[in-house]
Amino acid sequence: MSENNIQSVLHENRLFPPSEEFKATATLSADKLAELYAHADRDHEDFWATQARTEIDWQTPFTTTLDSSNAPFYRWFPDGKLNVSYNCLDRQLEKNADKKAIIFEGDAGDVEEITYRELHSRVCIFANALKAQNISKGDRVIIYMPMIAEAVIAMQACARIGAIHSVVFGGFSASSLKDRIEDTQAKMVITADGGHRGGRIIELKSTTDSALEIGCNSIENVIVFKRTGHDVAMKPDRDVWWHNAILNQSAECEPEWMNATDPLFLLYTSGSTGKPKGIQHSTGGYLLNAITTMRWVFDIQDSDVFWCTADVGWITGHTYVAYGPLATGATIVIFEGVPTYPDAGRFWDMCQRHAVTIFYTAPTAIRALIKQGDEIPNNYDLSKLRLLGTVGEPINPEAWMWYHTVIGKEKCPIVDTWWQTETGAHMLAPVPGVTVTKPGSCTKALPGIDAAIVDQEGNEITTANEGGYLVIRKPWPSMIQTVWGDDNRYKEAYWPYFDGKYYLAGDSARRDEDGLFWIMGRIDDVLNVSGHRLGTMEIESALVSNPLVAEAAIVGKPHDIKGESVFAFVVLKGDRPKGGIDDELTQTLRTWVGNEIGAIAKPDEIRYADNLPKTRSGKIMRRLLRTIAKGEEITSDTSTLENESILPQLQGKV
């Protein structure tokens, strides 16, 4: 995404209205959507209260819609009681018991179909197994699993008994796992012997063991699902196989009735400090927006087969795999493997075989598959697809057009959905039967979401195409509740300006002449690599923890497929390698970062210098480093640099 692409984005004016065919069956017509907007404008709280009464089965109905007395700690539906697992499973049994809930496909092509009746009983059995292992309401449980049906079963089982789960992505290292366990003070880890990805085994149990060896005193038990069958060590008194834990457990488990504001889960994400934040989500408000967005943005209908390719380790895999689709009685596809194994046709082959109608993935996956050529998708019958979606990063118009023509055959609307771990659900996104889309724009705020672009003082920017801060001006049900154990950090990270009145998303954005939103990038030190958020500070502290490294600075470098790649400038304690390059050391440091955080955080390139470019006050000049990483000429004023003579070193010239 060079300057050229930014230019072409700026001048993008191709318009894509929904087809008559799509409109004919769409849940929301233009009139209905207009009514929703009007209702929300008229009375924000009444609008959400109405949605909450319609969409959720409450055990005890709420009488208060929103408690703002302790803002920005907003509490939605505070006196209502419900259970998320009940709303996802029990209430489907009347009409949908024999409907497929999950179509699971393993890396090797093994397929298992699970009906709602069966899923309900498997979740109840596992929930009872958790109770038998001494887990109860409010306890934290870490889920460190491959992308298999049991990951969703584990999440639903926690939700059923009111335990707070925190899913850790299977690609994270022992050290990252340990940090999350310790921050949550979890009592249990649910893991597997391993998972299959691209024909290889991902170790999960042995990584869990390493994490537990270096700390994690709060952990009492580990439940291990047997997935690969390869040899793993089991520690008596601590570890129990899943298949043993569920022996003789009943298939009935009365749901724990939770307050709407009780935490449903914690999910860690990177910010601008070295330490990831545990984003805390609620039970009632979170579920509500998971459901409303399934209807408004995904137009979910009874006959749909819905496939969101995200792992449950990310928010997308929570809202649009584990919760939203099940709460709307949908059939979902869950896939253990990778898009390129056994070949680059895997996604399309699966869309054909499972008759997928709605497909939701990340721009990085689309860009990677474009490289493989059109013949591959053209070999498959993609005619069942009716709606496509993207998430995680801006999609470049070229990739959008390919998705639209080669995958969607020009008949599927594309929903480009902007949201965040913190927002819980889609915020800016098209409504597919109504919104006229433009390639690269996430279009408009959904009903009940008051998004705006403001300047430093909080004044709304109304000039077309002028960039500013993206903010949300009114609370919404699925909003972050706090940062686990750190209320101050929550306030400082998300409500620092504008008298604490607006939620600061951390993105810059603009609106075009038609009022459509375009995300321009992060305003903080956060990278977006393949749609995943990485904090520069986090990678820097991982590097500096290596005994050879004195100082490090991380910047993002534009990358064709990943969007951004990780570029590191490193100052060693010892001598600088000749020419600023040392392949062997670079390998060592890459492995080091992989062990400290996880493979996704490994720097793609490392350049060694005697010093980092700093202002006289000691601040690292990241903008300059970004220019250098791109290999561009330095045009900015460098005279404020403390040590101008290191520039050629940073540029790799000497």
Pairing of strands 532-535, 526-529: antiparallel
Instruction: List the one residue from 228, 269, 289, 328 that touches ligand WT7 (CB under 6 A).
Output: 269
407 burial via Cβ count (<10 Å: 0-12, 13-18, 19+): buried
Instruction: List the one residue from 153, 327, 391, 597 that touches ligand WT7 (CB under 6 A).
Output: 391
- Does position 175 interact with ligand WT7 (CB under 6 A)? The reply is no
Q: Name residue 100's amino acid.
A: K
- C-beta of 162 vs 535, nearer to ligand WT7: 535
Region of 81-89, 339-347, 419-427, 566-574 interacting with ligand WT7 (CB under 6 A): 419-427
> Torsion angle, CA of 284/288/289/293, rounded to 10 degrees?
160
- Does position 530 interact with ligand WT7 (CB under 6 A)? The reply is no
Region of 23-31, 236-244, 505-513, 562-570 interacting with ligand WT7 (CB under 6 A): 505-513
Beta bridge pairs of residue 115: 100
Q: Among 13, 10, 2, 9, which Cα is nearest to 397's?
A: 9
- Does position 478 interact with ligand WT7 (CB under 6 A)? The reply is no
Region of 3-11, 251-259, 346-354, 500-508 interacting with ligand WT7 (CB under 6 A): 500-508
Buried b (16+ CB within 10 A) or exposed e, 210-240: bbbeeebeebebbbbbbbbeeebeeeeeebb
- Does position 507 interact with ligand WT7 (CB under 6 A)? The reply is yes
- Does position 292 interact with ligand WT7 (CB under 6 A)? The reply is no
- Does position 494 interact with ligand WT7 (CB under 6 A)? The reply is no
Q: Please give the Cα distance from 617 to 641 (Å, whole number).
A: 10
Q: Please give the Cα distance from 81 to 56 (Å, whole number).
A: 10
8 Å CB contact between 364 and 562: yes
604 burial via Cβ count (<10 Å: 0-12, 13-18, 19+): middle
- Does position 280 interact with ligand WT7 (CB under 6 A)? The reply is no
- C-beta of 342 vs 558, nearer to ligand WT7: 558
**One character per residue 21-60, x = contact with ligand WT7 (rule: CB under 6 A):** ----------------------------------------
Q: Within positions 201 to 220, which residues make up the interface with ligand WT7, using CB under 6 A?
A: none
Token pair recorded at residue 91:
């209430």
- C-beta of 425 vs 625, nearer to ligand WT7: 425
- Does position 168 interact with ligand WT7 (CB under 6 A)? The reply is no
Q: How many residues appear in the chain? A: 654
- C-beta of 255 vs 506, nearer to ligand WT7: 506
Minimum Å distance from CB 290 to ligand WT7? 13
Q: Please give the Cα distance from 459 to 497 (Å, whole number).
A: 12
- Does position 266 interact with ligand WT7 (CB under 6 A)? The reply is no
Minimum Å distance from CB 470 to ligand WT7? 8
E strands, 370-529, where?
387-391, 414-417, 451-454, 468-472, 482-483, 503-511, 517-522, 526-529
Instruction: List the one residue from 65, 280, 417, 565 that touches ligand WT7 (CB under 6 A).
Output: 417
Token pair recorded at residue 414:
């594309």
- C-beta of 228 vs 269, nearer to ligand WT7: 269
E strands, 174-254, where?
188-192, 194-197, 200-203, 221-225, 239-241
- C-beta of 92 vs 528, nearer to ligand WT7: 528
Beta bridge pairs of residue 565: 557
Instruction: List the one residue from 12, 203, 304, 416 that touches ligand WT7 (CB under 6 A).
Output: 416
Cα distances (Å, whole numbers) of residue 25 to 22, 187, 360, 452, 630: 6, 48, 20, 31, 47
Region of 145-153, 337-345, 528-536, 581-589 interacting with ligand WT7 (CB under 6 A): 528-536
- Does position 538 interact with ligand WT7 (CB under 6 A)? The reply is no
- Does position 361 interact with ligand WT7 (CB under 6 A)? The reply is no
- C-beta of 520 vs 585, nearer to ligand WT7: 520
8 Å CB contact between 628 and 641: no
Sign of the four-CA dihedral 51, 56, 60, 66: negative
- C-beta of 188 vs 264, nearer to ligand WT7: 264
Tell me, by CB under 6 A, how many residues bind ligand WT7. 22
Instruction: List the one residue from 193, 256, 262, 393 that touches ligand WT7 (CB under 6 A).
Output: 393
Q: Within positions 420 to 449, which residues make up the interface with ligand WT7, using CB under 6 A?
A: 420-421, 442
- Does position 506 interact with ligand WT7 (CB under 6 A)? The reply is yes
- Does position 153 interact with ligand WT7 (CB under 6 A)? The reply is no
Instruction: List the one residue from 48, 402, 418, 592 that touches ligand WT7 (CB under 6 A).
Output: 418
Using only the alpha carbons of the chain, give its radius of gyration.
24
Question: Under the rule (CB under 6 A), what is the footprint of ligand WT7?
Answer: 269, 315-316, 391-394, 416-421, 442, 505-507, 519, 522, 528, 531, 533
